[in-house]
Structure 1
Amino acid sequence: MAVTDTLKSIFAGLYSALVLAAVVPFGLVDATPFAVVAICMFALGGAALLLFGEPRRGRWVFVWALLLFIATSVWIVIQTVHIPLPSLINPIWKDASVLIGVSRNTISVAPTDTLDSLLYIALPAMTFLTGLIIADTDKRARRILVVLAIGAGLISLFGLGQFLLFPKMLLTENKRYYLDSLTAVFVNRNTAATFLGLGFLLTATFTSENGRAYLGFSSAPPGTFNEGLGFWAFGSLSVSCLTALMLTQSRAGLAVTGLGSVFLLPYLASQWKSRRRLSSQADHPMRRKWRLTAGAIVFVLLFIAIFGGRAVLRADQRGTDDGRFCIWSDTVHALSQNWLQGTGFGTFRTVYSAYRTADCGIGGIVDRAHNSYLEGFLTLGMVFPIVAVLIFFVLIRTFWTGYRDRHRLRRYSILGCAGTVLTAAHATVDFSLQIPGFAIFFTAFLAAVVSICCGREERVIENRGRESPELKIGRSVGLSEI
């Protein structure tokens, strides 16, 4: 048992390091680092499954995630094969048959691109499944979250240093886009904003966790030196993430981080209770809760007002004159003609050119819809909203289970909910979830949080298994009498 526990800890360390390594090289948008990380993650996941089997906790989440991934993958493959149903075949092949005598008779307008894009779903899915297998205890799951929080904080520090000292550089290359904005290790400032916002929520959670005990705002004994060190370290990283977020000048990034903070910060603040307050009932709980909620919201708005002025100024200058609104209009037009079967996963760039109007200009190539839901619906058809709704249902049920059952660790279910709200909301106006490095980071974050949320069910099952036969008989007799 001790050997297995040590081996799982080693796997957890490798897993965390691999997740952070996936973020650094421009969010893994280049083919070579993507292939290296994919090979390592699949090897790690396969080894974890062979050595440890299915996860002990959150098994139903594991099964649902695996089934949804298999179903989506099967549909993507179906989009690339010859089918005998003319009504599902994309009209482009009928035109091709008339013009050049060649027809693929497939749903996808570019079958090769669709098959290649399957890996962009498989890698985050494997990251999530592997995380559930490895993070099978609260301790390991929290360690993974700690590593992710520290990694996000260090990346924000690197981004700040590079932006202030070498503003024309992006890692080791000359910066070509967003010269006036901080992008950390990403090419796009909006992806950087989503990452830094999630990093802020993570570091803020551990700042509160260490600070409560260290500063004497909990019923637990006074904190140790390590908790004090953790408080100041995570506090500094939290400020770093928030400052870097402001310098991205991402309007949506600021808004969704504020939205996620409204979910998380009031609860974290409500846990800071002095011993004198714990022994006194003078302060009404509901009154104090609303006061803390208002204080947390004011804190976020004040910080944005002070440090996010450049993003606000950019919003005033741009107004509603944003090219993505035009792209959305053309995408909806394309969707109206392909909503059932889709055009083939990963074919947006090819399909959009046929529906592009002159209002959107004629320069440049549009390869993203700037709305992950619209793009997913267009390329996957009706399968996408069904899978998306099921994913949100599984996550909501998991977070509610953690909130209801994990009283001492309830903050992690709220953290998971806040991080999901932040990422899902930003996906409506940008494509951060479609960047492999961030998708891997986010699914690793979800895997650790889901493991903690499902921890109580494991203890209940184990306790029932340890009951003596007499106690089990007594319990069954008592139930039958009732």
Structure 2
Amino acid sequence: MPEFTPSSRDALLLAAKSRAEPARPRSAGGLFGALWAEGGFDALLLFGLIAGLAWAPFWLGGNRLPAWGVNGLYFPALAILFEIGVLFGGRRHPVSIATIAGPAALFGATLLWIFFQASPLASGASAHPIWGMASEMLERPLEGGVSVDRGQTLVFLLRLTTAASVFWLALQLSRRPLRVHLLLRAIVVIVTAYAVYGLVLSAFFAAAIPFFDAPALGLFVRSTFVNRNNFATYAGLGLVTTLALILPLADRDAPSETGSRAYRLSKIVEAAGLRAWLLLAAAFVIFVALLGTVSRGGILATILGAGALLAIAYSRGRRRRGESVGAIALVLAGLGATILFFGDLIVARLFASGFDDGRRLAVFAIALRAILDTPLFGYGYGAFADVFPLYRDRSIPTADVWDKAHNAYLETFMGLGLVFGTALIGALLWLAAKCFAGAVARRRAPTPAAAAAACSLLIGVHALVDFGVQIEAVALTYMAILGAGVAQAESSRISLSD
């Protein structure tokens, strides 16, 4: 029986890992060549998707009508180009629609319902009574509808199809390991760039946004977003994605060392190499910017998302005899050090104001009352700003402006009704659960699925107290991460094509 020395055993392990992992080209030319070899047309679409994600936050987080129009043309056009390539190239979809048949059916039904809400075909018994009242006041007939603002519902329908286009593109382009890792790393670079920009604006321009009419915020960090809480959601997505990319690097490159935890941690950092150092630097910058937002909900939701990511890694590490514990310790040490040096603002605000927000709770109560008045039909997708003044009472100050419910779930139910609101939320939960199951079950390359599952928790928790997911830059970035996670939730050995 042959004997293996430690060096020969390490050589065998290294060879096995090189076979299991995709090749990582070192130069830009080598990367593009590898992507082109896998499919030149798809590579161009992937770069187009990344360019769109880089543009999305620039125009005040994408939270303006012109940005909605640009995104509503650009991303669906990329999806149509992909479908044309499949049709005329005689190819198959890398991920069949049957793979996500349940969520797709729920989402498709929701789209049809939104179109019906905005259509004059809904006039009559199903139309909202406000149309009859307006017709009497104007003394002329009006074409009614389920939605109290049909134009706004059509705009929000456009935004929803834009997000769906990003998800579909990311799903189809991320089945190959090289592409999915490029997409996730690109998202990290993009979020890091906006975090650096936000820190610069906060330090030198009182958080004013050049070229845009947005009031200064002082020392708060918000980058190009109007609301610092929305930037907190965006930064949280970037931080969780960065941590998801760090963990397997530290785990894979960590040597088998004995000794104190500090010594083993130092060896992990040393073995992780330049890629891990760059990712650690990105995580540090994003986390500092996140703390600079002083957003209680955004920071706590990000901590929960990061905690879920570490829990997934730990559960996998236990099955592999604790191999991931060192990587988790590395991430926790970095987060702890950053909080120690930069967390005084958020801690001070928590002690000053706590977690109670009476005005927000009052808005929740008003929205719930409005939902119960028309639980089946809703008021029209995106019509919250038109409906809320009809129910507003003295429980909130008259000077406050509430064009969002600060709870994405209540606003969804208010717009779509309970049935189709549940369908839309259920479709997202279904996809997130698929990512979580894939992150836990996959033996190799669980990173995209784990990142998507953790980001889904972040988005889902923060949506309880804010509207970050309703900002287009946040929604599109999350859809790209979710699509990548669903594409990699199943083993690469299983064919998902149609």
TM range (shorter): 0.7 to 0.9
Distance 1:76 1:7 in 2: 33
AA partner of residue 181 (structure 1): F
Q: CA deviation at 1:392?
A: 4.0
- In the other structure, the counterpart of 1:123 is 162
Q: CA deviation at 1:305?
A: 5.6
Distance 2:105 2:326 in 1: 44
- In the other structure, the counterpart of 2:201 is 162
Q: CA deviation at 1:168?
A: 4.0
From 457, 460, 463, the equivalent of 1:427 is: 463
Contact 2:93 2:172 in 1 (8 A): yes
Question: Tell me, what secondary structure is at the counterpart of 2:443?
Answer: coil
Q: Please tell me whether residue 358 in structure 1 is matched to residue 371 in structure 2.
A: no
Question: Tell me, what secondary structure is at the counterpart of 1:333?
Answer: helix
| Deviation readout 1:271-304 (Å, 9 max, x if unpaired) | 889xxxxxxxxxx988998999799778756744
- In the other structure, the counterpart of 1:261 is 306
- In the other structure, the counterpart of 2:290 is 245
From 165, 168, 171, the equivalent of 1:132 is: 171
Q: Please tell me whether residue 60 in structure 1 is matched to residue 102 in structure 2.
A: no
1:18-417 aligned at under 5 Å gives the runs 18-52=52-86, 55-57=93-95, 59-83=97-121, 87-101=125-139, 102-173=141-212, 175-176=214-215, 178-216=217-255, 228-268=273-313, 300=335, 303-304=338-339, 306-319=341-354, 320-403=356-439, 405-417=441-453
Q: How many residues align?
A: 449
- Where does the alignment leave 5 or more consecutive residues of structure 2 unmatched? 1-34, 258-266
| Deviation readout 1:414-439 (Å, 9 max, x if unpaired) | 22211100011101111111111111
Q: CA deviation at 1:447?
A: 0.9
Q: CA deviation at 1:410?
A: 2.3
Distance 1:3 1:399 in 2: 28
- Where does the alignment leave 5 or more consecutive residues of structure 1 unmatched? 274-283, 463-482
Give % identity.
Answer: 24
Q: CA deviation at 1:105?
A: 3.4
Question: Tell me, what secondary structure is at the counterpart of 2:395?
Answer: helix
Contact 2:432 2:452 in 1 (8 A): no
- TM-score when scaled to structure 1? 0.83
Q: Please tell me whether residue 11 in structure 1 is matched to residue 33 in structure 2.
A: no
Shift in CA distance, 65/44, structure 1 to aligned 2, threshold 3 Å: farther
Q: CA deviation at 1:154?
A: 1.9
Q: CA deviation at 1:124?
A: 0.3
Contact 1:343 1:381 in 2 (8 A): yes
Distance 1:15 1:287 in 2: 37
Distance 1:433 1:105 in 2: 30
Deviates more, 1:344-353 or 1:1-10: 1-10
Contact 1:80 1:106 in 2 (8 A): yes
Q: CA deviation at 1:150?
A: 1.5
Contact 2:53 2:477 in 1 (8 A): yes
Contact 1:49 1:133 in 2 (8 A): no
AA partner of residue 17 (structure 1): A
Question: Tell me, what secondary structure is at the counterpart of 2:56?
Answer: helix
Shift in CA distance, 170/408, structure 1 to aligned 2, threshold 3 Å: same
- In the other structure, the counterpart of 1:472 is none
Superposition RMSD on alpha carbons, in Å?
Answer: 3.4
Q: CA deviation at 1:77?
A: 1.7
Distance 1:37 1:85 in 2: 31
AA partner of residue 345 (structure 2): R
| Deviation readout 1:69-123 (Å, 9 max, x if unpaired) | 4322211121123457855321212323443334433211111221222111110
Shift in CA distance, 269/167, structure 1 to aligned 2, threshold 3 Å: farther
Q: CA deviation at 1:167?
A: 2.1
Distance 1:57 1:407 in 2: 20
Contact 1:246 1:311 in 2 (8 A): yes
- In the other structure, the counterpart of 1:480 is none
Deviates more, 1:209-218 or 1:405-414: 209-218
Shift in CA distance, 235/168, structure 1 to aligned 2, threshold 3 Å: closer
Distance 1:84 1:259 in 2: 42
Q: CA deviation at 1:306?
A: 4.6
Shift in CA distance, 450/340, structure 1 to aligned 2, threshold 3 Å: same
AA partner of residue 203 (structure 1): T
Distance 1:299 1:270 in 2: 21
Distance 1:57 1:25 in 2: 32
Contact 1:262 1:293 in 2 (8 A): no
Shift in CA distance, 354/100, structure 1 to aligned 2, threshold 3 Å: same
Q: CA deviation at 1:332?
A: 1.3
Distance 2:165 2:396 in 1: 38
Contact 1:83 1:89 in 2 (8 A): no
Question: Tell me, what secondary structure is at the counterpart of 1:186?
Answer: coil
Q: CA deviation at 1:20?
A: 1.7
